[in-house]
Amino acid sequence: MVPDEALYERARGGDLAAFDVLYARYERRVFGFVQRLVQDRAEAEELFHDTFLNILEAPRASFDTATFAAWLFRIARNLALNRLRSKSRGAHAATRVAAIEDSPPTPEQRLVEEERAFALSHAVQRLPEGLADVFHLRSSGLSYLEIADVLSVPVGTVKSRMNSLVQHLKGAMP
């Protein structure tokens, strides 16, 4: 498998196939992340596409200290936050929890999962900004190191925020 950073370099050089591979690798994760932040599908689609346009239009990135994934999510996050600020929307995004099971859930299981998702959504909305950022980035599949790169904080800070996040959510969940 070709590393993301090498694909990025090839895409910057005009290799559309390399761009397509990067797009396919990150489409679901980045789109889901942005959608959780802005809570609007149409806006999320626009921001998602803007993110990928930015990787081609932005000054060439160096990945000496950060990964391509961290850089990509930082671009997506900044675009989404700028959009939220420009629309004067200060509310944090809620997230949906989808239970993936082998067999269809019973009505009782569905109800329990919906109640848990609702409770989690409200708990996430009430999180302080630093904790909400960690929640959204981690739920998008980023590692602690990548989250640290995106937020420009030490890994220890991410771990501390993750611990605080867990404690906040434990206290907020029924």
Question: What is the band of 100 on the pLDDT scale with cuts at 50, 70, 90?
Answer: very low
- pLDDT of 106-141, one tens digit each? 777 677 677 766 777 777 788 888 888 888 888 777
C-alpha to C-alpha distance for 92 and 121, rounded to whole angstroms:
10
Fold classification of 1-90 (topology level): Rna Polymerase Sigma Factor; Chain: A (1.10.1740)
Q: What is residue 164's predicted lDDT score, i.e. its pLDDT? A: 79
Q: What is the pLDDT of residue 174?
A: 60
1-90 and 100-174 agree in CATH topology: no
Decide: 161 and 131 in contact? Cβ < 8 Å: yes
Q: Which CATH number fits domain 100-174: 3.30.710.10, 1.20.1440.230, 1.10.10.10, 1.10.760.10?
A: 1.10.10.10
Tell me the average pLDDT across 77-104.
56
pLDDT digits (tens, 9 = 90+) for 42-89: 888 889 888 888 887 777 787 877 889 989 999 999 899 888 887 743
- pLDDT value, residue 133: 85
pLDDT at 21 (0 to 100): 92
* Per-residue confidence band for 35, with pLDDT thresholds at 50, 70 and 90: very high
Percent above pLDDT 70 for the chain: 84
CA distance 94 to 148: 22
Closest by CA to 92, choosing from 48, 50, 137, 54, is 137
Residue-level pLDDT at 131: 84
pLDDT of 93 over the 60 cut: no
Domain boundaries, the chain: 1-90, 100-174
Q: Which two tokens stand for residue 144?
A: 């602690």
